[in-house]
Amino acid sequence: MRCEECAQALGGYLDGELAAAVVVAFEAHLRVCKPCGGLVASCRKTIEIYRSHNGKCAAAPLPPALHRKLVMPPSERERHPRS
Amino acid sequence: MENATPQLGEGSGKRGGEVRLWERGMETELEIAAGREEEAELVRRARAGETGAFETIVERYERRIYRLALQMMGNAADAEDVLQETFLKVHAKLDQFQQQSKLYTWMVRIAVNQALMKLRQRRRNVVSLDEELASDEGPLPREVADWHPNPEQQFEATELGDILERALRALALPYRLVFQLRDIEQLSTEETAETLGISQAAVKSRLLRARLQLRARLSRHFRVQGAAS
C-alpha cells in the first residue's frame, strides 16, 4: 500500500470498516511509513482524548434547580415558567 | 522522542463483526442485552406514568444531553433551554419511541433537532447541514510530528479543556456536528446520517475532515517540543 491509498483508507481504518486483507496491508504500510503511522496514532489519540474529556465534563452534576425543572411534570412547569 | 508507530494490536479496529474494544470498552454481549432489557422496562414504566421511572431517565441522561447542547450552542443559557425542551419532548413522545435504537440515541436526535432549530433562529446565515462542502479531502499532511505519549498529562485539566473546546469550536458546524455525534456520542454512521439528514457518505467524508482538522490544531499543543508541526 502507498501513502495515497493509506489516505483513502484512513477513515475506514479508524472506524474498523476495512476488510481484513486491507487492514493487513494498511498496517504493513504503517510499520514502514513514519508519517502515516504518526498520523493514524494522533488521529486515534484525538478521538480518545475528546471522548475522555467529554466523559469527565458530563460527570459534573447539573444545578439542582435545573434538574428539578427537568423532572417537573409539564403541567407544573406552566405554573413555574423558565426564569 | 516518542516512536510514532501506533500500537497496532490494540487499535486495528473492527474486522468483520468484531467490536472495537479500544473504542467500546469491554462490554460483553450479555451486558449489552441486559442493559437493553433494563432500559425497555424503564421506558415501559415511564410510559405507564410512573413518575420515578421518568426521573430515572432524566437523572441518567441529563448531564450528557446538557453537555451535547452546550457544545452545540456555545453558552449555558441556550444549552439549558435545549435541555429543557428536549426532556419536554421526550416526556411527550415517549409513546412513539420504537426501541429500535437505544433510548439515549433517540434522545440525542431530539436534542440535536432542538439545538439546530435554535441555531437557525439565532443565525440566519448558518451553514446548511445538507449543503455540499468541499469534497476534496486533499493530501494528508506529510510532516507529522510525534505527540507526547500522554498529552493530557502536559496540561492542567482546565487548560486542556480550553484547548479541546477551542479546537472543536473552530470547526465549521457541519464537521463539528458529525464529530460530536460519531466520535463523542458514538452514534453509528447510519444514526448520524439520519439525525442530521445527510447521506452516510457525507458523514464519513465530514468525519475524516473533522478528525484531521482537530488533529492538526491539537498538534500545536501536543507535539514533542522541537518537532516539526
Q: What is the pLDDT of residues A12-66, one digit of tens each?
A: 999 999 999 999 999 999 999 988 888 899 999 999 999 998 888 877 888 888 8
B102 pLDDT exceeds 80?
yes
**Nearest-CA neighbor of A40 among A68, A71, A9?**
A9
The percent helix, strand, coil of chain B (3-state, each to 5) is: 65, 0, 35
Interface of A with B in 10-29 (CB under 8 A): 10-11, 13-20, 23, 27
When the pLDDT of each residue in chain A is averaged and rounded to a whole number, the result is 85
pLDDT at B21: 44
Report which of B229, B209, B217 is spatially closest to residue B142, judged by C-alpha positions.
B229
Q: Return the percentage of chain B with pLDDT > 70, whole number.
A: 76
Angle at which helix B51-73 crosses helix B29-47, to 10 degrees, equals 110
| Distance between start and end Cα atoms, chain B | 14
- The full set of domain ranges for chain B reads 28-122, 151-222
- Coil/strand/helix, residue A42: helix
**What is the per-residue pLDDT for A25?**
93
Please tell me the distance from the alpha carbon of residue B125 to that of residue B119, in angstroms, as a whole number: 10
pLDDT at B139 over 80: no
Number of domains in chain A: 1
CATH 1.10.10.10 at B151-222, yes or no: yes
Q: What is the pLDDT of residues B11-35, one digit of tens each?
A: 334 433 344 444 455 567 777 777 7
Rounded to the nearest angstrom, the gap between the alpha carbon of residue B8 and the centroid of all alpha carbons in its chain is 24
Fold for domain B28-122? Rna Polymerase Sigma Factor; Chain: A (1.10.1740)
Inform me whether the pLDDT recorded for A79 exceeds 50: yes
Nearest CA in chain B to A69: B84
The minimal CB distance from B55 to the residues A17, A34, A71 is found for A71
B155-198 residue pLDDT tens? 888 888 889 999 999 999 899 999 999 999 999 999 999 999 89
State pTM to two decimals.
0.78
CB contact under 8 Å between B5 and A73, yes or no, is: no
CB < 8 Å to B16, chain A: 20
Average pLDDT in chain B: 79
* Residue B93 contacts A where some CB pair is shorter than 8 Å: no
Residues B63, A59: C-beta atoms closer than 8 Å: yes
Helix axes A64-71, B76-93, angle to 10 degrees: 20
Residues of B in contact with A29 (CB under 8 A): none
Q: How much is the ipTM here? A: 0.84
Which residues, 6 or more positions from A79, have their beta carbon under 8 angstroms from its beta carbon?
none
Cβ contact A52–B151 (<8 Å)? no
Domain of residue A55, residue span: 3-79
Does residue B119 contact residue B72 with C-beta atoms inside 8 Å?
yes
pLDDT at residue B5 is higher than 50: no
